Homo-oligomer: A and B are copies of this chain.
């Protein structure tokens, strides 16, 4: 049995908890939280500890599944945690991945631990599709569309702005762009041509709404390159919208092998719950990291470095016989 620890218990932590409980080859040693452990009732009856106790589990956990956010949690904590534990995380600030990788690669090698970063569906499953599609159809273009759905990273980023009490953000594909791609027109689309971002924000009494709206719309990486709509609403409305965390998206590659022969490759996901599905992906990569670490792998890896067989509880012989 693979011994797993879960760090953080927000939406993603809950999703990971559910996924670990369903894995036939995993047991959870505990959920670690910065909150008062007594205050937390997890979806599955796993033990809950304060983050302060994490050190006591050194040598007793095969892999930690890190469920913090990409804006501040992961950049400020993963490298420290990696000194003592193998880790998997869902770091999704695309622009900062190279820098994040570099740091964890150095720490992992130095301390003999393995870290898998940017795991989930994008980055993650979609990254696999982009790379694989590009390798097998080199003469072409690829297009990633997200939504309609809630982006937790973007919602999180808004909530960190001074004066914001709660917020939720929807990423919405632009229909005309989607149509052009499906028709094989190979359009030239910038990031902002493919999506708009709609935000529902609840603010504190007396907050400077104009400043908050400006701060959102100009936030680098998250909003600056997009058409962004900001709606100020009640806390109740935000809360109601937060009950349904559905998401999805498409990766297309459209290209040619000869002038006359074109091909369209498409991966699409329709997800009722983004954090539950992301948690399920994190858990499969937890299995891979535990196995690779056991074989002596150290440093930092992404979905591009891990042979797919490591993700499955089935043996290689079973995979060849039943899935190949």
Mark A residues whose CB is within 8 Å of B. 15, 18-19, 22-23, 94, 97-98, 101, 118, 123, 125, 127-132, 134-139, 257-258, 260-273, 276-277, 279-281, 284, 287, 302-309, 311-313, 316-317, 319-321, 323-324
Contacts and interface: CB of A to CB of B under 8 A. Distances in A.
23 contacts: A22-B139, A23-B138, A98-B320, A101-B320, A125-B265, A128-B308, A131-B309, A132-B308, A134-B323, A135-B308, A135-B313, A136-B280, A136-B281, A257-B280, A262-B272, A263-B271, A264-B269, A265-B268, A265-B269, A267-B267, A305-B307, A305-B316, A307-B307
A320 B302 contact: yes
A234 to B, nearest CB: 26
Contacts of A305: 307, 309, 316
A23 B127 CA distance: 22
A68 B10 CA distance: 54
Contacts of A316: 304-305
Tally of this chain's copies: 2
Given A134-B323, A263-B270, 13 more contacts: A94-B324, A98-B320, A101-B320, A125-B132, A125-B136, A128-B128, A128-B308, A130-B323, A136-B277, A260-B272, A261-B272, A264-B270, A306-B307
